[in-house]
């Protein structure tokens, strides 16, 4: 049961296509898991449809239809094909990015038993997977920008609430938090940040440029 | 739209083209594309509409909504915006028998959304257009959409409930 959803502005940005890649991947992964956000996204796309419908038309060139028919000449409409629905832990948008499921992730230790894997995206925001052992904590940190954390397995708690599978925590610049994984199996999260994290303690801050959180 | 999907009907496609191609061109020009590029891309979007017509499900989206998503994706390529993967699609495809009632309800909802949009004061309408056609960051969207989306939120909620019901 998903309790923490995406905000309207994030879904609107995703719908319009104006967000950084790291956010897009995380949002596509959450929507794959969450029927409520899928419906909200569909309603925002309906708003896009209404905007398109009401856009003052700009005349096409003469012969545009003939030119388009020439483009599609000899191309019969494609049949419907069933979408990819992988069986593993990662929904398709994330699986495609990792190049496989959990067993394909190349983890690197970042201290305290926590491991991470940075997934390559465009430079405007970063995307990484986090593996936090049961009972383990991610060092206390604040953010310069927005950090989205999507739980894929297990659960964590911080000062604000509990986050289980499918939940998204949206932490703004003001949030200073210490996520702690619940006892039991490791907590695996996908995190997207549009500015580097800021750690509170001196040592983690020195380490930060090296571990690239 | 369905005649294009089921019968590869070129006449039906021509009718769709004359309605939507000039609107797609307008959408792309509002996004900052020069006229010639917008023309080329509008043709390209309509060619994709033809090819992918079988994916169109009238009980989940109106033709305008579905075409908007194709134009949006083309715009991301055109303006070299960041990659945007789609969520996993639902495992079932368009119903073999048209769910006319759901399709009609969705069309009416979208029409009401359009009417609510048209009734907005000019400045609020422009903010929504900017969120969709322009390039607001999500922070800017948060600051701007609060206003106009508040006005039409009930419409969105309505559409949302219907969509949710149709999916459960």
Q: How far apart are CA A5 and CA B161, in angstroms?
A: 16
Q: List Cα–Cα distances, A86 to A89, A94, A188, B94, in angstroms.
A: 8, 10, 18, 21
- pLDDT score at B161: 57
Cβ contacts of B16 within 8 Å, gap of 6 or more: B1, B4, B46, B49, B63
| Backbone dihedral angles phi then psi of residue A150, each to the nearest 5 degrees | -110, 125
Cβ contacts of B158 within 8 Å, gap of 6 or more: B109, B112
- pLDDT score at B135: 63
Instruction: Note the pLDDT tens digit of each residue in A48-78.
Output: 998 999 888 999 999 999 999 999 887 777 8
Query: Chain B, 43-62: which have a CB under 8 Å from a chain A CB?
Result: 43-44, 46-47, 50-55, 60-62
Q: Indicate which CATH number applies to the domain containing A28.
A: 2.60.120.10
Instruction: Note the pLDDT tens digit of each residue in A90-141.
Output: 999 999 999 999 999 999 998 889 999 999 998 778 999 999 999 998 876 6
**Does residue A120 belong to the interface with chain B, where contact is any CB pair within 8 Å?**
no
Q: Inspect the interface and report whether the beta carbons of B91 and A42 lie closer than 8 Å.
A: no
Q: How far apart are CA A104 and CA A65, in angstroms?
A: 47
**Does residue A47 belong to the interface with chain B, where contact is any CB pair within 8 Å?**
yes
What pTM value is reported for the model?
0.87
- pLDDT score at A60: 96
Per-residue pLDDT tens listing for chain B (168 residues)? 888 877 878 899 999 999 999 999 999 998 888 999 999 999 999 999 999 998 898 888 899 999 999 999 999 988 888 899 999 987 777 766 777 887 787 788 778 778 877 877 777 677 778 888 876 655 555 555 444 444 444 544 555 555 445 444
Minimum-distance CB partner of A42 among B52, B54, B60: B60
Beta bridge partner(s), residue A118: A128
Q: Do A133 and A114 meet the contact criterion of CB atoms below 8 Å apart?
A: yes
Domain of A182?
A: 1-213
- Residue A176's CB is within 10 A of a number of other CB atoms, namely 14
Q: Residue A196: which pLDDT band, with cuts at 50, 70 and 90?
A: low
**Does residue B74 belong to the interface with chain A, where contact is any CB pair within 8 Å?**
no
Which chain B residues are closer than 8 Å to A18 by Cβ?
Answer: 81, 131, 135-138, 141
Q: Inspect the interface and report whether the beta carbons of A60 and B21 lie closer than 8 Å.
A: yes
- Structural Rg of chain B based on CA atoms: 17
State how many domains chain A has: 1
Cβ contacts of A147 within 8 Å, gap of 6 or more: A169, A170, A171, A175, A191, A192, A193, A194, A197
Give the CA-trace dihedral at A91, A93, A95, A98, to 10 degrees. -140
Average pLDDT estimate for A145-162: 92
Q: How far apart are CA A183 and CA A164, in angstroms?
A: 13
- pLDDT score at B150: 45
What HEC string does B107-161 produce? HHHHHHHHHHHHHCCHHHHHHHHHHHHCCCCHHHHHHHHHHHHHHHHHHHHHHHH
Q: Residue A152: which pLDDT band, with cuts at 50, 70 and 90?
A: very high
Q: How far apart are CA A174 and CA B65, in angstroms?
A: 37
pLDDT at A200 over 70: no
Q: How far apart are CA A62 and CA A77, in angstroms?
A: 25
Average pLDDT estimate for A22-45: 92
């Amino acid at each position: 049961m998903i309790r923490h959803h995406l905000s309207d502005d994030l879904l609107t940005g995703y719908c319009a296509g104006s967000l950084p890649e790291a956010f897009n991947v995380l949002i596509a992964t959450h929507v794959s898991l969450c029927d409520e956000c899928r419906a909200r996204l569909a309603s925002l796309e309906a708003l896009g449809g209404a905007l398109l419908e009401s856009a003052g038309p700009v005349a096409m060139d003469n012969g545009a239809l003939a030119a388009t028919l020439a483009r599609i000449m000899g191309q019969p409409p494609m049949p419907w094909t069933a979408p990819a629905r992988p069986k593993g832990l990662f929904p398709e948008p994330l699986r495609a990015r990792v190049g496989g499921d959990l067993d394909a992730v190349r983890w690197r230790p970042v201290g305290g038993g926590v491991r991470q894997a940075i997934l390559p995206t465009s430079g405007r925001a970063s995307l990484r997977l986090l593996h936090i052992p049961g009972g383990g904590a991610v060092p206390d940190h604040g953010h310069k920008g927005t950090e989205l954390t999507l739980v894929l397995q297990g659960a964590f708690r911080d000062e604000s609430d509990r986050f289980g599978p499918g939940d998204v925590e949206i932490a703004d610049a003001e949030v200073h938090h210490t996520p702690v994984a619940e006892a039991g199996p490791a907590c695996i999260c996908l995190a997207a940040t549009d500015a580097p994290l800021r750690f509170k303690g001196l040592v983690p801050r020195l380490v930060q440029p090296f571990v690239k959180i | 739209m369905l005649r294009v999907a089921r019968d590869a009907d070129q006449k039906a496609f021509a009718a769709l083209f004359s309605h939507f191609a000039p609107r797609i061109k307008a959408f792309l020009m509002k996004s900052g594309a020069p006229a010639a590029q917008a023309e080329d891309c509008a043709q390209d979007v309509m060619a994709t509409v033809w090819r992918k017509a079988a994916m169109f499900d009238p009980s989940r989206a109106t033709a305008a909504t579905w075409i908007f998503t194709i134009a949006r994706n083309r715009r991301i390529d055109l303006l070299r915006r960041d990659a945007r993967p789609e969520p996993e699609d639902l495992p079932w495809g368009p119903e073999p028998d048209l769910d006319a009632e759901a399709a009609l309800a969705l069309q009416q909802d979208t029409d009401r959304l359009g009417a609510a949009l048209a009734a907005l004061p000019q400045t609020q309408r422009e903010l929504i257009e900017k969120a969709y056609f322009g390039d607001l960051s999500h922070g800017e969207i948060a600051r701007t959409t609060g206003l106009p989306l508040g006005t039409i939120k009930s419409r969105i909620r309505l559409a949302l409930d219907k969509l949710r019901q149709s999916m459960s």
